[in-house]
Amino acid sequence: MAERRPRAFLWSALGKAWNAPNTALGLLYGLTGMLLGLLFHGLGRQPAPRVRWRDNAVQFTHNPFGGVGALALGNTVTWIGDPYDPDDHTWDAASRREGHPITDHERQHTYQGELLGPFYLPSNLLGGLNALIRGEGWHGPHNWNERGPQSHPPRPWAALKRTVR
């Protein structure tokens, strides 16, 4: 069992290195949004933005660049609110819908990035466009990058279903 920890650490480090180009974009995106968030906070329009390391990613919370909720890019996640704050109930409906905390969903996207590296963004864009073209919305079942994180329990990729003939 002691051998597994160094091996897991090695795979995690290699995945993060492979995901580094996406993470660099995510850091730029999150930090830019954080500066804007600090301005909004100074004007009294939103809580102060925060940065922390949690759930396999640098987490940018209370960030105006969080989109409709969150954006995972490399080993970063940019949130419009703060899913770690028990008083922020923005995430309750999404967590109930998915059957697990929304943070578990976003963590799976960081693992996808560690597996796909520079191919993660094209895969995510193509999967999202595929779902949109089919009229499902970005997070629809034809977006292969969303099926695993939305499964129970969440995982990077949905299990393949075998059909019996």
> For residue range 66-80, what is the model confidence (pLDDT) as tens digits?
877 899 999 999 999
Position 13, amino acid: A
Are 137 and 144 in contact, with CB atoms under 8 Å apart?
no
Percentage with pLDDT > 90 across the chain:
72
What is the average pLDDT score of the chain? 91
Using only C-alpha atoms, the chain has a radius of gyration, in whole angstroms, of: 17
Q: How far from the centroid of its chain's Cα atoms is residue 150's Cα? A: 12
Q: What is the mean pLDDT of residues 9-18?
A: 94
Selected residue with higher pLDDT from 94 and 103: 103
- Measured CA angle at 100 (ends 72, 8), to 5 deg: 60
Look at residue 4 in the predicted model and tell me its pLDDT: 67
Q: Full-prediction pTM beyond 0.85? A: yes
Strands (E), the chain: 50-54, 57-61, 70-72, 76-79
- For 125, phi then psi, to 5°, come to -65, -45
